[in-house]
Chain A
Amino acid sequence: MSQYSRKFNPNDKRNKGGKAPPLPNMPGSTGSFGSPGGGGTPGSSTSSVVTRPVTHAIARPLFMCKPYVNSHLLKGNFKTIVVLPKHVDKGEWIALNTFEFYEYLKLFFGVVFEFCQHCKSMSAGPGTDYYWLSADRKPRPLPAAQYIEYVLTWINNRLTDETVFPTRPSNALVSVPGQTQVIASPQAGQAGQNWIGKEAGFPVGFYGSCQAIFKQMFRVFAHIYHTHFDKIVHLSLEAHLNSFFAHFIMFSREFELLDKRDLEPLQPLIDSFDEKGVFQGLKQGA
């Protein structure tokens, strides 16, 4: 790897709360990991980012190096698969995409699992570590594999929670031929309000849940990029990962699912995608 000197991470020290799953009381217990069924909102517990000062200039991370940074499975305008299709419910669109990002992110984690087992911390580059907030609200460092498994379990619990991501043809939605849809409980109490996915039967907190999920999914991306990208290259998966990540970012931009500050660990990569026009479609032979 060429020693390209470049300051990669800002030196500011941050420790901020976010929306994240709580640490299960007993690691490995099969019980109610994550906020128990429907009770807590996704924002009720937090994890944190610890950024340590980086005193020396650091090497350019591999994922920022050519040719890998320019390797893509997809070309063309991501809008084709990102923008809300006409007449389609926004909640259903976000729900399906969240579900799919989760499914495929899980695959990438599965690929690096062999190596991730040796990761001592959930790092996202020199200076950035993600901590898990335990039940007593204390930030705890966790081995990355454990952190990610918690995250994936937590997301899975959300996605399979019918009160957050309903899948059954809901009784709330009664489609009367030739007439408009009648919406009954559980939304009846909030008749005045409006929220994403309301008409399709998603709860008030649905969008917030998705934001929390996206935030955690981003961290998994960040860890894979910063720690396991060489393995990804050896396994010839970088084009797939880059495109999948670009899709993820494009989608989260379109529906404002990620906070700009959370993107920092991979901001240079995102900038490079922007610079190269990855989101709008690579020009032929560019």
Chain B
Amino acid sequence: MYNSGQNQQGMFGQGQAYYPQQGGPGFNPQQGGNPQNPQQQMLLDQPNSFAINNPSNGSSQQRPRTAGSLSSAPRDDDYVTIVRDASSYQPITRERATACKLKVELFYKQNVQHALERNQRRNESETRLQSDPRMSEERKNRQRANLGHQESQFLRLRRTRMSPDDFHTVKVIGKGAFGEVRLVQKKDTGKIYAMKTLLKTEMFKKDQLAHVKAERDVLAEADSPWVVNLYYSFQDSIYLYLIMEFLPGGDLMTMLIKYEVFSEDVTRFYMAECVLAIEAVHKLGFIHRDIKPDNILIDINGHIKLSDFGLSTGFHKTHDQAYYQKLLDKAQAPSAPKTSDRNSVMVDAIHLTISNRNQVNTWRKSRRVMAYSTVGTPDYIAPEIFIHQGYGQACDWWSLGTIMFECLIGWPPFCAEEAHETYRKIVNWQESLYFPEEIHLSHEAEDLIRSLITSADKRLGRNGAEEIKAHPFFAGVDWNSLRNIDAPFKPQLKSMTDTTYFPTDDLENVPDAPAVAAMRAAQQQGLQPPGPGEETGLPFIGYTYKRFDQLNRHGGF
């Protein structure tokens, strides 16, 4: 992370010894890395090429010089050698230098990116205009001026300092360990968004920065109908803010609480959409790792979108290897509760769930509360994530299998009273995966579930989503028009801020997470909260984001 005073991880390379771009005769350009490394360039179209050099990174070493080059090459008179040493400087100075370096590099990277995208937009618009012979020249010029106006507005937006004061809260619609999600309205435009707030100190302490950055990246980069759109992200000294598209249809978890189980047809629809959504995320180069019914949101037309590429529920805490290990150890320790007896646990849990549907729903409701907690539920996580193995995109297909199981059976395959039991069941999935006999599943459905809930090297989808699409369960699905067909359940909304599909009643019973509560109390007393100062802002570099087409995009509705 970036929290030490030293720059350990530069934007474009790591730990290279300093060396000048245009070494004098005394320099041997074979050492210290190649500044012209093409990977690190961001070239624009010719002839206006412009790129970012491999910056001299935070290493304080002087590049070693060979004795041979010293004696053989005459040196310029104006040649100076400084042995870099910033060790006597205040830590804050070194930290500022690191921040400055990273921010400037990011600034130019983004600057080039902006220029590139601006050119693209202009070219696209120009191509469109050229290809329309019927359009009058006057109209074309008006369109060009229009694009120019949009571009100008975007420039203005980029220097606009956004703050939560720009939004009016309609309702709190979710809570998490690091903050909450609110339905908000932007004061000047009246548009509706979902605003997620995350407490910086907690993110920092709990080592969540990589996650929040990843989420920001996925949301910002994905221009996909399958991913929740991000319009803005900004920060103040206390919180990070994500301003996202509000999906009024709630989520799949709420829907499962309502309907208990889905028919195979309905399940096929949601699973097929999930396949496309997960495929879209994978194509962006990301692994979601936390696909679960709470993260599958329902849009205004009843189609799904994935959210939560970070940790709104604080759930990623559980991705911590040590944390898993502790839970596993607990489950296996001799001193663990008697229920750790493998057979009795399994039988016990299943009897409990089968015998009474109401109890399943009680379990679901408690799961909703759990979703707001720091710990969250591990029910949908692939085993390779928390045993000491690497994991890849295939882990998301495991999650899909567990969700499909839940849609058809009524509970997730490894559910248990205690999280550590669930972990144990997942690790021992070969023994614990059990299809209740009294619930009829088609052969195709069971086969698909079994080929998803299996070891990573055998799992369907490990060679790409096409494998899953070709499974007989999905026979007849038109993958290209899926998002255009009528969804099985379409939300019935009374207004643009209707939160019927968000069971906010539960929320009142959910206490704020301790850190959130403490911050709130401090703010109410008018105290300057002990938020991270300027310097802990370092890890949050690059978080701020503004979308070009936020102005004409159907933000809110």
Nearest neighbor of A70 in chain B, beta-carbon distance: B22
Q: Is the CB of A111 within 8 A of B97?
A: yes
Given A72-B53, A76-B50, A95–B89 Cβ distance below 8 Å? no
Inter-chain CA distance A169–B552, complex, in Å, is 14
Given A95-B159, A104-B103, A110-B100, A68–B152 Cβ distance below 8 Å? no
Q: Is the CB of B152 within 8 A of A88?
A: yes
Inter-chain CA distance A64–B79, complex, in Å, is 9
Q: What per-residue 1/0 map shows which CB atoms of B97-139 lie under 8 Å from chain A?
A: 1011101110110011001001000100000000000000000
The answer to whether A172 has its CB under 8 Å from any CB of chain B is no
Q: Is the CB of A92 within 8 A of B20?
A: no
Q: Is the CB of A167 within 8 A of B159?
A: yes
Q: Is the CB of A80 within 8 A of B112?
A: yes
Contact partner of B48 (CB less than 8 A), chosen from A64, A70, A77, A238, is A77
The answer to whether B90 has its CB under 8 Å from any CB of chain A is yes
Q: Which of A121-129, A140-148, A228-236 is found at the contact surface with chain B?
A: A228-236
The answer to whether B145 has its CB under 8 Å from any CB of chain A is yes
Inter-chain CA distance A282–B122, complex, in Å, is 28
Report B-chain residues with C-beta under 8 Å of the C-beta of A255: none
**B residues 52-86 in Cβ contact with A at 8 Å:** 52-53, 55-60, 76-80, 82, 84-86
The answer to whether A85 has its CB under 8 Å from any CB of chain B is yes
Contact partner of B158 (CB less than 8 A), chosen from A96, A104, A175, is A96
Q: Is the CB of A236 within 8 A of B57?
A: yes
Given A92-B152, A100-B159, A104-B107, A236–B56 Cβ distance below 8 Å? yes
Q: Which of A88, A113, A284, A286: most chain B CB closer than 10 A?
A: A88
Q: Is the CB of B100 within 8 A of A87?
A: no
Contact partner of A234 (CB less than 8 A), chosen from B84, B92, B148, B159, is B84
How many CB-defined contacts (below 8 Å) exist between A and B? Answer: 205
Inter-chain CA distance A131–B524, complex, in Å, is 45
Contact partner of A73 (CB less than 8 A), chosen from B49, B53, B92, B144, is B53
Given A99-B159, A100-B107, A281-B49, A240–B100 Cβ distance below 8 Å? yes
Inter-chain CA distance A67–B29, complex, in Å, is 13
Q: Is the CB of A85 within 8 A of B94?
A: no
Given A76-B50, A235-B86, A281-B49, A104–B104 Cβ distance below 8 Å? yes
Given A86-B122, A89-B148, A100-B159, A230–B104 Cβ distance below 8 Å? no
Inter-chain CA distance A240–B105, complex, in Å, is 8
Contact partner of A75 (CB less than 8 A), chosen from B27, B51, B111, is B51
The answer to whether A81 has its CB under 8 Å from any CB of chain B is yes
Report B-chain residues with C-beta under 8 Å of the C-beta of A181: 149
Report B-chain residues with C-beta under 8 Å of the C-beta of A76: 43-44, 48-51
Nearest neighbor of B147 in chain A, beta-carbon distance: A87
Inter-chain CA distance A64–B80, complex, in Å, is 10
Q: Is the CB of A169 within 8 A of B188?
A: yes
Interface size on A, residues (CB 8 A): 70
Q: Is the CB of B20 within 8 A of A71?
A: yes
Q: Is the CB of A74 within 8 A of B52?
A: yes
Inter-chain CA distance A142–B107, complex, in Å, is 32
The answer to whether B319 has its CB under 8 Å from any CB of chain A is no
Nearest neighbor of B44 in chain A, beta-carbon distance: A80
Interface size on B, residues (CB 8 A): 69
Q: Is the CB of B27 within 8 A of A239?
A: no
Contact partner of A71 (CB less than 8 A), chosen from B48, B56, B79, B144, is B56
Inter-chain CA distance A228–B78, complex, in Å, is 19
Nearest neighbor of A81 in chain B, beta-carbon distance: B111
The answer to whether A60 has its CB under 8 Å from any CB of chain B is yes
Q: Is the CB of B93 within 8 A of A73?
A: no
Give B315 Cβ to nearest chain A Cβ, in Å: 35
Inter-chain CA distance A281–B36, complex, in Å, is 13
Q: Is the CB of B100 within 8 A of A237?
A: yes
Report A-chain residues with C-beta under 8 Å of the C-beta of B43: 76
Report B-chain residues with C-beta under 8 Å of the C-beta of A71: 20-21, 56
Report A-chain residues with C-beta under 8 Å of the C-beta of B159: 95-96, 99-100, 159, 165, 167
The answer to whether B96 has its CB under 8 Å from any CB of chain A is yes
Contact partner of B118 (CB less than 8 A), chosen from A85, A99, A285, is A85
Q: Is the CB of A234 within 8 A of B85?
A: yes
Give A62 Cβ to nearest chain B Cβ, in Å: 7
Inter-chain CA distance A135–B86, complex, in Å, is 40
The answer to whether A184 has its CB under 8 Å from any CB of chain B is no
Q: Is the CB of A65 within 8 A of B78?
A: yes
Given A77-B50, A87-B144, A100-B107, A68–B80 Cβ distance below 8 Å? yes
Report B-chain residues with C-beta under 8 Å of the C-beta of A200: 152, 156
Given A66-B24, A114-B93, A175-B149, A74–B51 Cβ distance below 8 Å? yes
Report B-chain residues with C-beta under 8 Å of the C-beta of A244: 104
Given A66-B76, A114-B89, A281-B50, A85–B151 Cβ distance below 8 Å? yes
The answer to whether A30 has its CB under 8 Å from any CB of chain B is no
Contact partner of B156 (CB less than 8 A), chosen from A87, A92, A175, is A92
Nearest 4 Cβ contacts at the A-B interface: A87-B148, A67-B20, A76-B50, A80-B50
Other A-B pairs beyond A73-B108, A77-B47, A180-B142, 10, CB < 8 Å? A71-B21, A73-B53, A75-B50, A78-B50, A81-B50, A85-B118, A104-B100, A111-B93, A113-B93, A200-B152
Residues of A within 8 A of B (CB): 1-2, 4, 60, 62, 64-68, 70-81, 85-89, 92-93, 95-96, 99-100, 104, 107-108, 110-111, 113-114, 159-160, 165-169, 175, 178, 180-181, 200, 230-231, 233-240, 243-244, 276, 281-282, 284-286
A-B contact pairs, 19 of them (CB 8 A): A60-B78, A66-B24, A66-B76, A66-B80, A71-B20, A71-B56, A73-B53, A73-B104, A80-B49, A85-B151, A88-B152, A89-B149, A111-B93, A111-B100, A165-B159, A175-B149, A180-B145, A240-B100, A281-B49
